[in-house]
Chains A and B, each alone.
Chain A
Amino acid sequence: MIELQDISKSFRVAKRNPGFASAVKALFSRQYETVHALNEVSFKINKGEMVGYIGPNGAGKSTTIKIMCGILTPDQGSCIINGRIPWQDRVAHVREIGVVFGQRSQLWWDVPVADSFVLLKDVYQVDDRQFQHNLDELVALLDLAELLKTPTRSLSLGQRMRCELAASLLHSPQILFLDEPTIGLDAVSKIAVRQFIKKLNRERGTTVILTTHDMQDIEVLTERIILIGKGRILLDGNLPELKKRFSHEKTLRIEYYGAQPQLVPGMTVIEQQAGRLVIVLETEICTVSQAIAHLSSQVEIIDLSVSGISAEEMVATLYKEYQL
């Protein structure tokens, strides 16, 4: 269904040092730097899959999504989606996909949301019955009844994101690309958005490709994750398996009084603030009781918890492991 083979893409970025002198210099000779956003990226996604595409900022996630949407043309490599090459057959391709860019809006700013929906209906040539059916369903699922008559500009971010999701699904796409759909949302809105995506995938069989920095999204939504860093695919696997790989690791959270404790091999700091420390423990090197004994010998521990690794910590460790 979706197949990427050795996709590479680089951009030329103008660079200059800060300050007036270098700004003047840049008027005459400009220095460019080539940024390799993607480097021989390959993967395959089957129909009905839900895939989390993760990586730190600037890793190439959005670039990949934009190539799959037909917006960007890669320098080399092939990408076939539903038998088409997105950037060559863009108009036919985009009819069958839905896209949400979490950081931008596709809704018409000054007019009620319903008007934007009608515009999209016309753009995608959705027939009246299908449109009404989809709209009713989306309104019920995303609780939009109150919002339809409101102009986009007066919606809160959470309300808007629900409308954005609906807008990208009015033409019943087979594939849904979500580029950071939960960015900036509060807890309640996040849960609503996640539940909806899950339901959509289960009931309509829509293939969902999701980029996010919120590991909760990944944990709740996806089975499979693809990790990208510095333009390369580092890891492609399913979440439970990955977790198993990290099962010999424990997370130790402590709150303490006193100077920052010395660490021993087997401990990796993930988070540290004054009086608070989160450590990933490799139990093969340093057991939990050794660690606690070691730490309590140095500082006064006020609170302590030990848990298996969460998706968030797993990814943080992965980033460290691959030096991203």
Chain B
Amino acid sequence: MSTYVALFRIRFTNSLQYRTAALAGLITQFAWGFMQILAFLAFYRSNPQAFPMEFSDTVSYIWLQQAFLALFMMWFYEREIFDTIESGTISYELVRPYELYNRWFCQSLANRLARAVLRCLPILIVALLVPEPIRLRLPASLGQFGLFIVSMFLGLGVVVAFSMLVYIASFFTLSSTGNRIIAAVLSDFLAGALIPLPFFPIGFRKLAELLPFAAMQNMPLRIYSGNISGREAFYGILFQASWLIILIVVGKLWQRQALKQVVVQGG
């Protein structure tokens, strides 16, 4: 276990060093957040009844989404892992005394958390200070906030467990570009990264809410604002935990299968 803790720690501290990248990310996320909120504001002004979420819920959703983007973005992958597989350096990974799945899981987790730590505070502070109606509301209650935190970590777990499948797929396809793009586009949309899931047409929404993508940012961001609360929030967290377990089990089995027939590239 402590091997993985060490791997996590090293990756975390290493990722904390990238200040310029963090600053650039911050600026992008502010700009993006404002734009999105202003667009929604325009729609709400024209007809508030036509919308499935309260405006304030939507605003919280967007601000939190920007603050914790690093935890949930689906187009972000560990370049290093693809390189390892494509170039054959995986030989070295396999002569280390750890399970490759856990090692990659730790690395992704650490990298995302480090990025989020650097970026979330400035965004949250500004979002709490801007004038109504685009201000980020405080959570409905302390209990709700607790559920949000739990749900956020589960969501992060689901995101990482899902991207593990994309990594493992490149054992079979050699080039990872295709897998990566398809997975990124599909999951960003279905996770509610572009528009929250309640905005989907009802039939499609019902389907989307069953998929693992709904167990990513959709849950924590809606729990925070109170859009999902009480018993529904508990079920939501259970839903996330189930997907997390399923994805991890599938990933581990699939990786074992992949390693059994591994061919190391380049001799």
Residues of A within 8 A of B (CB): 11, 62, 66, 69-73, 90-92, 94-95, 97, 99, 101, 103-106, 111, 118-119, 122-125
Contacts and interface: CB of A to CB of B under 8 A. Distances in A.
30 contacts: A69-B91, A69-B94, A70-B95, A72-B262, A73-B260, A90-B94, A91-B99, A92-B97, A94-B95, A94-B96, A94-B97, A99-B92, A101-B91, A103-B266, A103-B267, A104-B89, A104-B91, A104-B92, A106-B92, A111-B14, A118-B10, A119-B10, A122-B2, A122-B3, A122-B10, A123-B3, A123-B7, A123-B96, A123-B97, A124-B96
B216 to A, nearest CB: 30
A122 B91 CA distance: 19
B92 A101 contact: yes
Contacts of B91: 66, 69, 71, 99, 101, 104
Contact of A91 (B7, B10, B98): B98
Contacts of A122: 2-3, 6-7, 10
A72 B92 contact: no
A288 to B, nearest CB: 41
Given A104-B92, A122-B6, A91 B264 contact: no
A296 B6 CA distance: 71
B88 interface: yes
Contacts of A11: 263
Nearest to A13: B263
A95 B94 contact: no
Nearest to B89: A104
Given A66-B264, A104-B89, 19 more contacts: A69-B91, A70-B94, A71-B95, A90-B94, A91-B98, A99-B95, A101-B91, A104-B87, A104-B88, A104-B92, A106-B92, A118-B10, A122-B3, A122-B7, A123-B3, A123-B7, A124-B96, A125-B2, A125-B3
B265 to A, nearest CB: 11
B264 to A, nearest CB: 6
B6 A123 contact: yes
B267 A91 contact: no
A109 to B, nearest CB: 9
B185 to A, nearest CB: 24
A63 B197 CA distance: 50
A94 B92 CA distance: 11
A70 B98 CA distance: 13
Contacts of B96: 94, 123-124
